[in-house]
Chains A and B, each alone.
Chain A
Amino acid sequence: MMNQKQPTIKSYLGIFGWLVVLTVIEIVAANLGLPKLALAIFLVGTALAKVLLIALYFMHLKFESGLIWWIPGIPMALAVFFVLMLFPDIVYHLTNKY
């Protein structure tokens, strides 16, 4: 069933604030000269956090039935599977990492 608690204008502004802050942090982090792997983990983490905020609040996933998660969930799982299956065949193959 649909979640009865609906977002308010205040909550939208709050999410917007978080998105801006996270973007600023990303830009700063990218210019800190961090090791590549650490930067990658950090940027992917912040990007996912921003994606979640947009999906949950702006796209209203938080306020819909829990079943709606299946709709974006299935293609996203397939997307991850697809890309991972390319790793042994292309990435490691090319760089001789195995």
Chain B
Amino acid sequence: MHNKTSKKSFIRKYIFSTDHKVIAIQYLMVGLLFLAGGGMMAYVIRMQVANPWQPIPFIGQILFPQTGGIVMPEVYPMLFTMHGGIMVFFAVTPILLGALGNYTLPLEIGAEDMAFPRLNMQSFWFLFLGSVLIIVSFFVPQGAAGTGWTLYTPLSSSLKVNPGWGVDLFILGLALDAVSILMGGVNYLTTFFKMRAKGMKLTQAPLTSWGVVFASVLNTLWLPLVAAALFMVLSDRRLGTAFFVAGPLAPVAGGQVLLFQHLFWGFGHPEVYIIILPVWGLVGDLLSVFSRKPAFGYKATVGCMFTICSLSGIVWGHHMFTSGMNPLVGKAFMFLTITISVPTAIFFLNWLGTLWKGSIRFTVPMLFSLGVMFVFAIGGLTGLFNAVQTLDIYIHDTYVVVGHFHYTLAASVLLGVFAFVYFWFPKMFGREMNQALGKIHFVLTFIFVNLVFFTMMYVGLHGHMRRIADPTAYEFLKPVQHLNVFMGKMTGLLVLTQFIFFFNFVYSLFFGKKAGENPWDAAGVVWTTSSPPPEHNYNTPPQIYCGPHEYGIENNGKDYVAQTNPKAAELTGAKNTQSQVDSGDTLPWLNIAKTGMWSFLISEIMLFTGLIGSYIVLRLGSASWPNPSEILNTTLLGINTFILICSSLTLVLGVHHAHAGNQKELRKYLLLTILLGSAFLGIKIFDYHHMWEHGFTMGGSLFGSCYYLLTGFHGLHVLSGIIVMLYLWVAAGNKEFCTVHSSRIEASGLYWHFIDLIWVILFAILCLL
């Protein structure tokens, strides 16, 4: 354990830092910046709908000087597209997973940092690069993407419909964001399961950490699915394929528009829970802290998170009830969706149980937590209506849906973000935020949020469609136009209210009251270290003796027992005595490197599920499919298969020698693996060249599209594997590396074998069948 702060340059300490706390603050700043940008777009959207084709008050002249502050028709789709995309992927996700996850998880479990600090830093910079692309997309000819944040095809996939580079930059930005989130997910999972403080059982981890863990599970599982879809859209746009283009727009027959929707919502629905689970966990913890009571039904709450996490991945179809999907499939999705309400209701009841007869302290974080409860209740209950297939057909694409998802995704998340910032600010910066300003901020935000989003649902019931720039063009919407004006004004006030928060945030950073270790009288282990914590979080490794919610217990004039209190067992009646302490490592049979790699391989399995699954569906749905052996050179592909199998053998032999500490043999086999991998790639390039010259191109047929995309993606993985092997080969020149880091070599080997395994599948079902 480190007990001294190492001396680092400014750049290493604050820009390219590997300290999870600094990285969390970087995420927070980027997230808040995009939150402000996305919020400003929301204001412009609402003002346009309220007073169509009139100059936008206050900021119109700044944003649209050429048009005198008026939003032009072609700009409006860009606004709602980028508002959605930015809010979901570049504001809320960085704040709740990047900032909240990074800051709280290692501290709350008593770890000194994340499992992979350098990966953590890279994760932030991938997000940063993605953010840059998103910003740049506003300034290219034809402007930013105007496809809707869902990027529905063929609107997004056909250049004939959307020729500008804005869509491409949006997709690439999202892809970089996805890489960033996946890196984070691998880190969170490994850190949580391998690095909890000694004594901390799984059931003694704070609910916030559980929320981050389950969100990471969902990210690792489902994000790659949409990543695969995004690459296929990009390929349709720029490489001439036709995965998601059909009809007159398609260069070749067989593309499937609906397939994109399945892939998108396969991730899109879990994304709701990816965002909300950390907030729910946080609220669960805060309600306990400020009710001075243990979290009611802690284990049931974690169980509900698990159930919600499991179900959320198999209900995506309820977003597509009006897509013309098979009614039987629709019914299955409806049933599964409604099932989610059961664990959600238990979750909510547990919150109420925590509050019941508590000594409630109405601090600012507590007020925001209660706010989350209120708005999520409305969002959750209105979700039930949307889940019913027969009703959804009527309200789909109306403001009912917009109001519903803004209650669940915007209102509850926004309030959750503020609960997080107000509660953790003292620990992050060593100063407290002003409580009076915070309370004014809460009251006004709560009022305006409800006035905007509830009104949305009301106008939706009048049949008000979403994504229209001028409701006055429709006779039947004129009776509710005054409500659009009302929403515009309330949105303006909501935006104005946030200046109170930004003022409080900046003012408190420099002039706020100095915070002690534990300004909230909280029991978690994190509140036993200084504010802000030292570089490696704890000066001595903490030992955990009880859960994080031991409140309402008389303890030397305090009403709580800290997790690190050695007398906790005596005071709380807990069974976690010294002789029964947990090691804090849930997977003792899997080292950290392999845990990280297996977490990563989960996402790889899902990435190839998106690609190979799409191929299977497109092929089986096609009226005809050529015989691959008549087009491909199967002998050459067979030789390539042999080469890759050989490389797996050489690598496994290398790992065998690494374990034995035989440096020379290890390097020999690593080099052989690199050479075989390179030979595979060389033959692949030759094969491509040969095929292309003989007319088998990417855009010539659906088979060509599938062949080049799948094998190309696999080839990129081989290339990545070669780079990793080269790094290991160089590093293994140092004898110490070979003996100390054999687990890293073995973990990298897992990746290589996985690549081999994917080729085995592709060879059989794509090249031979």
Contact = CB atoms under 8 A, between A and B. Distances in A.
A88 to B, nearest CB: 4
Contact of B642 (A20, A64, A90): A20
Interface string B606-625: 10010001001100111100
Contacts of A31: 629, 634
A36 to B, nearest CB: 8
B529 to A, nearest CB: 33
A35 interface: no
Nearest to B761: A47
B221 interface: yes
B769 A78 contact: no
Contacts of B613: 79, 82-83, 86
Interface stretch (B457-465, B597-605, B703-711): B597-605
Contacts of B153: none
Contacts of B649: 12-13, 16, 58
A50 B760 contact: yes
Given A26-B764, A59-B750, A71 B609 contact: no
A76 B325 CA distance: 24
B329 A76 contact: no
Interface string A84-98: 011111111111001
Interface in A3-36: 7, 9, 12-13, 16, 19-20, 23-24, 26-27, 29-31
Contact of B258 (A59, A74, A83, A90): A90
Interface residues of B, number: 60
A98 B320 CA distance: 20
Interface residues of A, number: 56
Interface stretch (B76-84, B108-116, B751-759): B751-759
Interface in B609-651: 609, 613, 616-617, 620-623, 629, 634-635, 638, 641-642, 645-646, 648-649, 651
Contacts of A59: 749-750, 753-754, 757
A43 B763 CA distance: 9
Contacts of B258: 89-90
Interface of A is mostly: helix
Nearest to A52: B757
A52 B621 CA distance: 29
A79 B609 contact: yes
Contacts of B317: 85, 89
A27 B649 CA distance: 21
A85 B316 CA distance: 10
Contact of B645 (A20, A90, A93): A20
Contacts of B652: 12, 57-58
Contacts of A68: 589-590, 598
Nearest to B598: A71
A19 B641 CA distance: 10
B638 A23 contact: yes
Contacts of B384: none
A58 B753 contact: yes
Interface of B: 221, 225, 256, 258-259, 262, 266, 313-314, 317, 325-326, 328-329, 332, 587, 589-590, 598-599, 601-602, 605-606, 609, 613, 616-617, 620-623, 629, 634-635, 638, 641-642, 645-646, 648-649, 651-653, 656, 746, 749-750, 753-754, 756-757, 760-761, 763-765, 768-769
Given A16-B646, A59-B749, 4 more contacts: A31-B634, A50-B760, A67-B589, A88-B328
6 contacts: A30-B629, A75-B602, A78-B606, A86-B259, A86-B613, A88-B326
